[in-house]
Every structure is written in structure tokens, then in C-alpha cells.
Amino acid sequence: MGVDGGTYYCRVQAVNNTGYVSEWSASSDGIAIDKTAPSTPAAPTGSGIYSSSSVTFNWNAATDATSGVAGYYCHIGTTSGGTDIYNGYVGNVLSKTVSAAEGATLYCSVCAQDNAGNIGSYSPSSNGVVVISYASDDIASLKSLADGTTVGVSGRIVTGVYDGFFYIEDTNRVSGIKVISSASVSINQLVDVAGTMSTENSERCINAMSVEPGATSSISPLGMTGKSLTGGGLSAVGLLVRTWGIVTLVDSANGYCYIDDGSGASDGSGYVGIKVMIGSLSGTVIEDSFYTLTGVFGMSAGGCVIYPQTPTSMVQ
């Protein structure tokens, strides 16, 4: 049967009917015995976390010391390890491109076969790649799209992280947007986001299907008066801002206060100034005191609101 990894050679002699024996033949080429499967490839990678119409997965080559790698089998599906999109042999290549319906999230895993017919184990599944209809170079262009449109945006900076959502902003500070997701991200982290557009309390949002954190960066807030925030339409919504003023009301039970810089800001509630969601800070914020506030300007059921960037972002 031969030893795995061994190489065997053959020579023959001929014997005629009178008993004469020929010289030995030349030796055959060596035949290697390969009973070991190829190595398992690392998880394939897609072209980012989203792609338009078609998705290409790439993987690194497996190794096989004895007979060499002949090719790869590939699974692509809408679930991790799934095969509903593709299940087959792709040959000795290191990528596979498929098409899928808008909104689908695709995953890929592969295994190698060697020239002796041994098949290795499947790789871990790739991260999901979302098939989208609109990839944006700027956040402002997303806000004009209809609810339900699948979108993707890359390299945007996280400006605030809250319970069940976070905000991202263009690095040039032109526009920002709320991302509905509980993904683990940090302030000043650059992220790629794929999801569907929605509207929540008149605020455009991305319902994230996939979030991929990256490197860190930094961004400075835009200094804005209360009047410029509330009187400028929705252009400031989603931006990291810095404002200031006197605290005119603290509602500890509901976790908010109002801050007024005297510029005439109003959200129609009857209270003077801009609503600030201070949460657990409500016990430390003092009415009739002056504060400087850094936070993200957004919308709530009652109108415009500022979410402090961190618990220390409201300074007396």
C-alpha cells in the first residue's frame, strides 16, 4: 500500500520460455503516496462589507506538500456556511464572483483538493457582504433616498455611541447620520456601514445590516448657536456640535434638560432653548447655571435634541 509521503519506483525484467532473463529496465518515474488532505484555507474575504449587484470572494492558497493543490470547492450562501447561492468546484483559482438579490447578505467558505484526490476541511466562513443598490461617497446624498433603499458608506467617523444606535459623520464635517445598530464601535473610530434607509422622528437613519470598525481618527465639533441649530432646517442633524448657554430646566425623571444661549432657540415645546438628553447626569446638572456642551444634534419624538458625546461633555 505504501507509506504516506513515500515515493516509489519500478523496474522490470523479461523472462522468455527458455529461461533467459533480460536486463533490468530503466527505473520508472517516482510515484508519491499521498494520503494527507491539503491544508485548510483561512476565511475568504469580500470586497468590503457591501457590494453592488455582484460579490467577489477571495481566499489565500492552501498547501499540500506531497501532490500539490489541484483546486477548490466553494460554498456561498445567505447564511454562514450556506450553499443556496453556489455549491461546486471552481478549479485552481483563488476567487469566485456571484450575483444575488439586493439586500442579501452573502457568506463564503472554501476547501482544497489535492492531485491525489484528497479533500481538506472547509475554511471558516467569511464575514457577510451585503448586496446594496447605492454606495455613497458622502452622507448627505443618502438622506434623499427613499426608505428601504439599501446603501453602503465607508470610512466615516463615529461621533457618538448610545443605547441601540450611534452617529457617523463625514470627515469633512459636512453631514452626519444616525445608524441604528448595537454593534461594538467607539468614538473616533472609522467604520464601514451597510444597511437600509429609514426615517425615525423625521430623522433619516441607516438600519445597519453590517458594520465593520477600522482605524481611529479624530474630528472637531462645529460651534453653533441654539438658533442656528433649530432654525437651520435639518442640515445640522447628525453633526457633532458644540453649543453653550444657561440651563433653563432639568427634568430628572425623564433624563433631559434645556439649555439656552439667548439666541431664541425653540423646539415648540414651550420651553426655552434646546433639549439635551442627559440621562443619569440629570442629578448633577444645575438649573440657572452656564454650561458648554459637546454632542450630536438629532431628532426625538418631541423635536430636536442634543445627545452629549460622553458623560463629561457637558461642562459647567
**DSSP of 52-90:** ESEEEEE-PPP--TTT-EEEEEEEEESSTT--SSEEEEE
Residue type, 219: I
Q: Which of 236, 227, 240 is nearest to 266 (CA)?
A: 227
Note the pLDDT tens digit of each residue in 186-213. 999 999 999 999 999 989 999 999 999 9
Cβ neighbour number for residue 175 with a 10 Å cutoff: 21
pLDDT at 93 over 80: yes
Task: Fill in the DSSP letter of residue 15.
Answer: B
CA distance 72 to 96: 10
CA–CA separation, 261 and 150 (whole Å)? 40
Burial class, 301, CB count within 10 angstroms (exposed 0-12 / middle 13-18 / buried 19+) = exposed
Is the pLDDT at 226 greater than 90? The verdict is no
Tell me which amino acid residue 244 is. W
Which H or E element spans position 41?
none
Segment (H or E) for 230: helix 226-230
Cβ count within 10 A of residue 98: 15
Supply the pLDDT for residue 33.
76
pLDDT single digits (tens) 106-155? 999 999 999 989 999 999 999 999 999 998 888 999 999 999 999 999 99
Nearest CA to 242 out of 179, 315, 155 is that of: 315
Structural domains of the chain, with CATH: 45-131 (2.60.40.10), 134-216 (2.40.50.200), 222-315 (2.40.50.140)
Rounded to an integer, what distance in angstroms lies between the CA atom of residue 120 and that of residue 41? 9
Say if residue 73's pLDDT is above 70. yes
Q: How confident is the model at residue 281 (pLDDT cuts 50, 70, 90)?
A: confident
Letter for the amino acid at 283? G
**Contact criterion met (CB below 8 Å) for 18 and 121:** no
Least confident among 31-35, 48-52, 75-79, 253-257: 31-35
Are 120 and 66 in contact, with CB atoms under 8 Å apart?
no
Average confidence score pLDDT of the chain: 91
Please name which of 277, 185, 176, 181 lies closest in space to residue 219, comparing C-alpha atoms.
176
Q: Which three cell numbers stand for residue 200?
A: 425615525
* 193 bridge partner residues: 153, 211
Mean pLDDT of 62-77: 94
Contact predicate 159/115, CB 8 Å: no
DSSP 238-262: T-EEEEEEEEEEEETTTTEEEEE-S
Tell me what pLDDT residue 232 has.
55
Report pLDDT digits (tens) over 6-43.
778 888 889 988 888 888 888 888 777 778 899 999 99
For residues 176-185, average pLDDT: 97
